[in-house]
Amino acid sequence: MLHRSVVLRHDRVRGIDLLLLPERVVVLHGSAGRVLGLCDGSRAVDDIVAELGARYPGAPVAGEVPEFLTALRKEGWLR
């Protein structure tokens, strides 16, 4: 789940996903926005990996998604 001061938004004009933070905007690349969209507090990391693995067979989600989420936790953007 995103920290309460962080908002995930899709910029339709640019076609990109963004994280809006106090006094900062982070541009998300690739499928990062879709991954964060699954971080709703009801799914564990393993559940997110399983769901993405089913959606994108052959993609390296098992290694990349937990690493990505750990990095966001270290930034304080994800609870």
Per-residue pLDDT of the chain (79 residues; tens, 9 = 90+): 899 999 999 999 999 999 999 999 999 998 999 999 999 989 999 999 999 999 999 999 999 999 999 999 999 999 8
pLDDT at 79: 87
40 CB contacts (<8 Å, ≥6 apart)? 1
Domain carrying residue 35? 7-75
Does 37 reside within a domain?
yes
Does 14 reside within a domain?
yes
Does 11 reside within a domain?
yes
Does 12 reside within a domain?
yes
Domain containing residue 35: CATH number: 1.10.10.1150
Domain total in the chain = 1
Enclosing H/E stretch for 9: strand 7-11
Q: Alpha-carbon distance 15 to 17, whole Å? A: 7
Question: What number of CA atoms fall less than 13 Å from residue 70's CA on the CB side?
Answer: 7
Does 67 reside within a domain?
yes
